[in-house]
């Protein structure tokens, strides 16, 4: 899967804006939409933006990452048209946004799903793990600090678990804390808090003792995805389209786009296109999970 840096996203967007402004076929100056937020969604959002420019050349969608919290803050401040988020708005954010827009609420759209994958180095013999075990690895006071604590035999000198995590402005960080670590628990100190989803996977790919969580769309052949069960001893499940939609994979979540109630009409038109067959096909091609009505009948 093609990976695009934030710098590259900005460069493409600037080029798109320039082309749009000069496109005589569009009948004059074009429209630009600021689409900011979730790092989990950034590659998918860029793929959407590129495809939509072919459908509507007069509309250029500028995609920037920075995390779900960044997108939501920009939406509340009125400095973006669409916020990408891998989590729902928190109560305080909802209240701030509603106050900003005179009592009107941001408009929420579910645009697909992400199976949050657990990654380890290919040399690690572990093949499955439970939510309970993940919690003991990541939470403050958790009892698992070595792979041998989980019954995993590693080469000499490679027993200490290296925990790859995300920074606190990340929707993935918030979701993992709620679903795995525990709402009332804190992350264990000493984790490698990475800036982006790709950085988590990159660290795991070069660190034999590492474990990390990141969107399934960031899977590469340089890491191994571990099956996950709700409780230790129960059957474990691999992340996939089927197991995400039938809810048997225990750590999957919706991907959201939020639009301000005063956004340009083109923003809602853009999201409507994302929710069509061509838009949802890009979700699948990007490694994520489409809305149920667009899932392939033979999806595994």
Write down the domain spans for the chain: 6-113+253-294, 115-245
Residue 245 has pLDDT above 70, yes or no: yes
Distance separating alpha carbons of residues 208 and 152, to the nearest angstrom: 13
Distance separating alpha carbons of residues 108 and 88, to the nearest angstrom: 9
State residue 3's pLDDT score.
Answer: 40
Q: Regarding predicted confidence, which is higher, 8 or 225? A: 225
Residue 74 has pLDDT above 60, yes or no: yes
Measured CA to CA in angstroms, residue 274 lies from 122, 181, 186, 261, 277 at distances of 35, 33, 36, 19, 8
Instruction: Tell me the mean pLDDT in the region 182-203.
Output: 92
Distance separating alpha carbons of residues 213 and 299, to the nearest angstrom: 23
Q: Which residue has the tokens 């409507």?
A: 272
Distance separating alpha carbons of residues 29 and 100, to the nearest angstrom: 29
Nearest to 212 by CA among 130, 121, 151: 121
Residue 9 has pLDDT above 60, yes or no: no
Nearest to 118 by CA among 56, 180, 25: 180
How far is residue 19 CA from its own chain's centroid?
29
Instruction: Tell me the mean pLDDT in the region 186-190.
Output: 93
Distance separating alpha carbons of residues 81 and 258, to the nearest angstrom: 8
Q: Do the domains 6-113+253-294 and 115-245 sit in the same CATH topology, yes or no?
A: yes
Q: Which residue has the tokens 């990654």?
A: 119
State residue 118's pLDDT score.
Answer: 98
Question: Could you report the per-residue pLDDT of 193-229, keeping only the tens digit for each?
Answer: 999 999 999 999 999 999 999 999 999 999 999 999 9
Residue 7 has pLDDT above 60, yes or no: no
Q: Which residue has the tokens 């199976």?
A: 115
State residue 89's pLDDT score.
Answer: 94
Residue 179 has pLDDT above 70, yes or no: yes
State residue 183's pLDDT score.
Answer: 81
CATH of domain 6-113+253-294: 3.40.190.10
Q: Tell me which DSSP letter residue 195 carries.
A: S
Percentage of the residues of the chain whose pLDDT score is greater than 90: 84
Distance separating alpha carbons of residues 171 and 40, to the nearest angstrom: 8
For 162, phi then psi, to 5°, come to: -95, 120
pLDDT class of 297 with cuts at 50, 70, 90? confident
Residue 22 has pLDDT above 50, yes or no: no
State residue 184's pLDDT score.
Answer: 83
pLDDT class of 300 with cuts at 50, 70, 90? confident
State residue 29's pLDDT score.
Answer: 65
In the predicted model, what is the mean pLDDT of the chain? 90
Instruction: Tell me the mean pLDDT in the region 170-189.
Output: 92
Instruction: Tell me the mean pLDDT in the region 72-82.
Output: 94
**Run of H or E residues at 118:** strand 107-120
Q: Report the CATH superfamily, name and number, of domain 115-245.
A: Periplasmic binding protein-like II (3.40.190.10)
**Run of H or E residues at 278:** helix 277-285
């Amino acid at each position: 899967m093609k990976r695009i840096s934030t710098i590259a996203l900005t460069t493409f967007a600037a080029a798109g804006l320039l082309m749009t402004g000069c496109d005589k076929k569009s009948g004059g100056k074009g429209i630009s939409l600021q689409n900011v937020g979730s790092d989990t969604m950034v590659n998918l959002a860029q793929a959407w933006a590129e495809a939509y420019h072919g459908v509507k050349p007069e509309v250029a969608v500028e995609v920037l990452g920075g995390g779900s919290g960044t997108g939501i803050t920009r939406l509340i401040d009125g400095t973006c048209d669409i916020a990408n988020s891998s989590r729902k708005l928190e109560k305080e954010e909802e209240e701030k946004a509603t106050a900003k827009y005179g009592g009107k609420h941001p408009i929420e759209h579910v645009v697909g799903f992400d199976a949050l994958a657990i990654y380890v180095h290919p040399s690690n013999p572990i093949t499955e793990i439970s939510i309970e075990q993940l919690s003991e690895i990541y939470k403050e006071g958790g009892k698992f600090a070595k792979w041998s604590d989980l019954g995993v035999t590693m080469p000499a000198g490679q027993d200490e678990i290296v925990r790859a995590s995300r920074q606190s402005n990340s929707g993935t960080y918030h979701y993992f804390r709620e679903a795995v670590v525990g709402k009332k628990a804190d992350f264990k100190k000493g984790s490698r808090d990475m800036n982006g989803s790709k950085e988590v996977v990159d660290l795991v790919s070069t660190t034999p003792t590492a474990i990390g969580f990141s969107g399934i769309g960031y899977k590469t052949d340089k890491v191994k995805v571990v099956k996950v069960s709700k409780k230790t001893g129960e059957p474990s499940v691999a992340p996939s389209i089927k197991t995400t939609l039938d809810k048997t994979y225990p750590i999957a979540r919706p991907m959201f786009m939020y639009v301000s109630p005063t956004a340009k009409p083109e923003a809602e038109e853009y999201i409507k296109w994302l929710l069509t067959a061509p838009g949802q096909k890009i979700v699948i091609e990007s490694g994520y999970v489409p809305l149920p009505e667009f899932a392939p009948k033979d999806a595994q």
